[in-house]
Structure 1
């Protein structure tokens, strides 16, 4: 069973490409905060297939149940500006390295962080103030069961075997740990699960960057003139679809020889000559002439037929009229009474009678009334005449006669409307004139025929008007003329076919030449654009490669592994312990629950969610985030099978003193060995004032106190920019200790430690101010002690001006005479006797 997301990731990375391995390992070693430089390096590995170096993180073996304890760390040389040969002896309970910012604490923390494989790689620099910095030389000792082990470390590796069981808390622990999901809930990703989210987002960014860079490659391609490029090759450039075969085909056209250049010129000349030959105009002229003659022939034939038909039809109508007239006369003879009526056979009289008959038909029962004057008829004869005409008019012979008369009039109008005027084109006239028979041109013959047509028309009109159906009219036969015109049409058609064949041959020649020209022009165009095309090919290959790489990238495997890790690691036990630690640290109003966080990229996973129990609608403050992270850190420690060391760097920054005090109390109650790097004085007070426990008075030997936990406190000081990280006993910062050390140095022969003795006496004066003047009392505003006001001790504070003047004199002398390079040091140095007198004066004040 794995205990951390890093274990899942290291196992997953084994089968991945180098770039993804480097990305995963980098995310593990930086706790989800890979530097921009490293990300760029990894991306270049992905994009350009560069070789990349990476080291496989040494992740803790979850199945190893043996515990370890840190014993000792010796910085021999080489790390930052840390003083050489400084030793930290770790207590099995609590070890605190306390000092101001810039004193050198971070140098020791970086050493331990790299040795145990902390959350994030910390860059360790050599002493930049030295011309020839020393190589890193650190020695660390640890105890496993009863066996003491010692390791030398040169700064080139991290997460050493066994020692990587230690768990580290620093600012990087919060990387990706908390994610505000709603205004009253926070998503928590403990046990390095945040690295999954970080990696998935980063892989997506890499993929999108590949696509963006691919698009940039396309935009960077030079413009290719496609004017003379074949369509099949145009598609390559227009669609950016370059295959290897197409690339080879186009590359072969990069060379355009002088011979091919000459062929191009010759073919252009041939094409120009061919295009100057205008056969189409000839064909059009012949076709127009042919069409005009065919039209003339059709016109003549049509009019010949029209005239012939009209002669026949006119005679027939006249014969029909005679027949109908006889029938009408015969009918009238049957009505004798009508003989006495003058002009009774005239059309006018017939129309007159028809009108009267129509009117009398509507005068029902008034047969004896005249339909014209509406007067009574005066005689029987008048009545008989009217009745006789009524019967006459109902006879069919008269209607048929009338119909024939109408047909005669219609035919006459039809013939009168015939036109025999023909519009000849100039070309037609020319052709007809060029062609002759024995004594006349065809044109003259056509004109004679047209004149004859007109004469026939006049004769037909005359025939109809005279009602002479026996008159002889004939139409001249035009078959000889139409045969001659047909011959001319066939002759023109023959010429058209001849020229059409020549035109087809010309077009085929042009097509063949143009095909050859297109190949030569394409060859020439490609050769002239060789550099641009080669650049285009190069950028297209890069574009295609980037797209293939982008398409290959998929975060599904990572997402699926993230789900597995979340489901395995986010247990009910972790939730309970986390809730307990939140309450221990002072946040009982925050509630932890496990829930399904929904589906992302097709994978559903379990998440740890933090929410408030009240109605406050606000995200966690900076201090609350830090407190939550500390509570989660302790909960994770408690989830481990072993109680291995934990290391914390400035854990209570951003926390108020109450929460810091509760956290100090919590650290003193866990079973793990605790190492703290601290600059917060109130946090240190919380350890000092812990009643069940005690601050060890010595740092070099074991403490003989047996109540509560041992708390070993180192004070880290920096004497100068060249000398930082000097370690001394926090409890040893008393005037007597500084005096004893100064006396030892003054006894050395020869005496050369003027500066060191001066510094010791300066510190001694400052300690006397705390010990004698203030009688060890601390202003209440700076104290974290439970019993904050020692009233009895306040009465023993010494406000003696003579005593203060004496201390000021000594402090000023050692500060000016030896601590600074100047005239006083050179012309009035402090000798051994003066140092001894200062020590005597200080001892008199203390005692």
Structure 2
């Protein structure tokens, strides 16, 4: 009784019921009774006041939620502006110029050392960046000329450029001095200074100056509520972006410049945040919300009081049962368990076993499965367990898989028949591993069973499906057959009233005419028209096949049906000229079916609407002739 389906919300009544136990005092619950007419009127009045006030406050709840989101976004945006300000503080700008000067100075020192050590009238620009890159590349290339145990160059090695032998220590020492220069302290310091400058440049390049995009929720709100703050923020960010581009250009050109600090005055956005906090607090502390809470408490209590007055008798009965359960749990459970088991044995022997055995034997007879199965039932712990035996052994050790399937079906059907609660039975592929004769026997039994309760059968066996339908049709028992398939990787697609037995819709040309009527429309696109025509010829082919089975052969032999209707042979009429005409018409139809194998006489032709109409007329003419002809005496 304490769940939310009956007593929704919280109240003293629900609290009491939630903790209801054998030692609960119902006198504490009775103080909430009775539920008077006056209280009934008061309950309706409280519910109306609550609903009206809740509707009025719903818009305020929406506004509160929106303002809370705006506050969160503005706080985050203010944090971004604080970080951006640090990059344009005067100390940071001076630091940029210091890094540029330091890098420039150290590069000049390294260049001067290179010029002093390697100056020559034969080569220009010694000590330049291009010269250093050349020396570094030469050093890396030299490492590939030797293994890890020796160092290039040595006397006898070839020059990397002129490929002439190095025969003097002077040549060797010159090349080694190049390597020493590249590894010198001044050169490394210049390299480190450049790396620091590049890192600073990268920091400016990564700054985001589009903090207030037009499509942003915060921008839209500021535009409506504080346009000045939005305009100021955008202008400062634009100025900072211009200064950032100037700084990056100075770094690229290795020039010191005069930079002026540009920082956003964050107090403007602090003012906006304070205004937001004031509005949010006013909405949260709204006196009407407190009134709404009181109305909810009042209407919930009155609703629970009304339900208590209706269900008190049930609650009182439940309490008595709880008390008895508590008393029962205090007794000797083993004694009661033994008594229950003995009673179960007696009832099982008197009723269940005999009923089940009779039903099982009857099902074995119906399914042609009389294999001499014996049944043994044992009872323990107030439960009955039955076992099947064949000559004292498990049936699975003697019977074939198909015979075991028959016994399992007999067992299942017998159990469902002796109980009254089963209104329907579902079978999943009940005839796997069975021969055609047993499939037919089981089909007949399931159709008979369907006169007593609903029977649902899932199967992949089309012969079995045909058997079910034939037995149902022979006995005028209603049925429905549906097709389930995996279409384009999606399992479980159901096609209602669709099975091999529904070929009767192809006993005339109406399905084909439906495709033709769509294809001949002027507004039908070429691709759609071609699809409709191919579908139409495919349907027409099926019409010919059904015509042969139903009208020419008078259903003597049917698809998916192992039975042959010999009696119908008397109605079959063969006319060689008519047969040849049917064959020719069938071939004419097939030549329009792309992908179908045909003779050279009937090579594939791309169909047009008039072709389909011609073949429809040909089919109907032959159908009329076949129906007109009867076997002569």
Greater RCO between the two (CA within 8 Å, min separation 6)? Answer: 1
The structure with the largest alpha-carbon Rg is 1
User: TM-score, length-normalised on structure 2?
Assistant: 0.43
User: TM-score, length-normalised on structure 1?
Assistant: 0.33
The structure with the largest strand share of the pair is: 1
The structure with the largest helix share of the pair is: 2
